[in-house]
């Protein structure tokens, strides 16, 4: 059935505007009840929210802050302003930072890669400060950079004042904002994200285990970060991938390490049991040849700007339908990548996802004869 539906979806694109039936709404099981101040479960590929509680309430992030710190450093690596092999001089401020430690030593040089692993795997507050000082000169300037990236990612309810999450009245975030940066980190930096699944890291002769309990309790889990302060409670941003489906869970303000782990597992298991994801059209695949006016040719192949993925309740795949919504202006010249409409996937009356539809090649304006012919055709 699944392969048949995939073959038929382009056919649906043509027939749905005629009003063919598309299936009924479905009821999904309620999410589990959790001991947490706030939580969120989202599908990585589609961003669909599968479960939530107080997902937009401002809460203290504790060491979840280090996800934003890592993302900020990864962006600097991508810009080639810094390199993994750079040797970072450890300041007294970094060395004296309290809480969880990587155990770097003042006055010594540590590679930037080791500092990242010390922060990601060992949750080193000292490593976080050393990274911030190296990237921006001081913690305050680095926090400004963190906030700039947060704003760009749409994290509208977050504000960062330090790179490690130590308590500060002006340091806050939400479960939804934490999911946003987690998705961005995995999508933009898969090569660095692999470090989050490392079970342990050794530096300066000291081996410390990864604090994420999901790595030992769920073989499909591969990240991301724990956090704890007395005010924030026990927090965890988790991620797991089963088959082609990846979920992001955010749990904040639980009363104990055990409650944190059990809540995260309950959310992930609920999501995987209740929902399924399907890639309907890969990026770059021609979906249709649209009629274009005044061009060197009459039609132009169009396809999705990115993968068209649908997250739906399990067992409802055959109720999916899709259509193209075209823009009104379909006149040459058109450049490759220009948006010409949307691919809209629905299930019953509910719109599941909407992805921009773009030109897959350039289409220059045609000669005078073609332009004149199309002008006449458009009159009729």
Q: How far is CA 60 from the centre of its chain?
A: 21
Please tell me which residue in 37, 48, 66, 117 is annotated as part of the active site. Answer: 66
Instruction: Using alpha carbons, select from 136, 298, 166 the residue that is nearest to residue 227.
Output: 166
Active-site pick, 37, 48, 63, 264: 63
- Cα separation, 133 vs 164, in Å, equals 12
Contact partners, residue 331, CB within 8 Å, separation at least 6 = 292, 293, 294, 295
**Could you tell me which of 238, 233, 230, 190 has the C-alpha nearest to residue 213?**
238
Ligand-binding annotation for 83, yes or no, is no
Distance in angstroms (rounded) separating the CA atoms of residues 177 and 237: 11
Tell me how far apart the alpha carbons of residues 114 and 119 are, in angstroms, rounded to a whole number.
9
Which residue is catalytic, options 37, 48, 117, 123?
123
- Cβ distance 107 to 125 under 8 Å? no
The question of whether 100 is a catalytic residue gets the answer no
**128 catalytic, yes or no?**
no
Report whether the peptide linkage leading into residue 57 is cis, meaning its omega lies within 30 degrees of zero. no
H/E element holding 371? Answer: helix 368-379
* Contact predicate 154/167, CB 8 Å: no
Contacts of residue 122, defined as CB under 8 A and 6 or more positions apart, other chains included, come to 100, 101, 102, 201, 203, 208, 210, 211
Is residue 63 part of the annotated active site? The answer reads: yes
For residues 47 and 282, what is the distance between their CA atoms, to the nearest angstrom? 17
| Residue 299 to residue 128: CA distance in whole angstroms | 54
* Binding site feature residues: 225
Question: Binding site for substrate: which residues?
Answer: 225
Report, as residue numbers or ranges, the catalytic residues. 63, 66, 123
């Amino acid at each position: 059935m699944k392969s048949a539906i995939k073959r038929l979806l382009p056919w649906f694109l043509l027939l749905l505007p005629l009003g063919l039936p598309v299936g009924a709404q479905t009821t999904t099981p309620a999410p589990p009840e959790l001991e947490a101040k706030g939580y969120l479960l989202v599908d990585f590929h589609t961003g669909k929210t599968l479960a939530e509680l107080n997902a937009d309430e401002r809460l203290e992030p504790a060491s979840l802050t280090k996800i934003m710190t890592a993302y900020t450093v990864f962006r600097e690596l991508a810009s080639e302003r810094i390199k993994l092999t750079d040797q970072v001089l450890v300041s007294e401020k970094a060395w004296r930072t309290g809480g969880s430690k990587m155990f770097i030593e003042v006055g010594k040089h540590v590679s930037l890669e080791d500092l990242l692993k010390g922060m990601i795997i060992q949750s080193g507050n000292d490593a976080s400060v050393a990274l911030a000082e190296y990237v921006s000169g001081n913690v305050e300037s680095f926090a400004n950079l963190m906030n700039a990236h947060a704003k760009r990612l749409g994290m509208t309810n977050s504000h960062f004042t330090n790179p490690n999450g130590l308590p500060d009245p002006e340091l806050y975030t939400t479960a939804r904002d934490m999911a946003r940066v987690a998705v961005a980190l995995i999508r933009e930096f898969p090569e660095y994200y692999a470090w989050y699944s490392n079970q342990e890291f050794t530096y300066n002769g000291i081996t410390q285990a990864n604090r994420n309990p999901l790595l030992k309790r769920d073989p499909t889990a591969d990240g991301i970060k724990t956090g704890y302060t007395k005010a924030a409670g026990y927090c965890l941003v988790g991620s797991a991938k089963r088959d082609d489906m990846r979920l992001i869970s955010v749990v904040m303000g639980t009363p104990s390490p055990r409650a944190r782990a059990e809540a995260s597992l309950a959310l992930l298991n609920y999501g995987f049991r209740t929902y399924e994801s399907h890639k309907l059209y890969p990026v770059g695949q021609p979906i249709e040849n649209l009629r274009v006016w005044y061009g060197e040719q009459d039609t132009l192949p169009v396809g999705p700007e990115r993968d068209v993925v649908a997250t739906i309740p399990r067992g409802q795949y055959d109720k999916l339908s899709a259509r193209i919504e075209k823009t009104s202006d379909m006149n040459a010249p058109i450049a490759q990548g220009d948006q010409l409409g949307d691919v809209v996937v629905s299930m019953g009356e509910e719109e599941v996802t909407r992805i921009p539809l773009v030109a897959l090649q350039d289409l220059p304006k045609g000669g005078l004869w073609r332009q004149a012919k199309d002008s006449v055709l458009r009159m009729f």
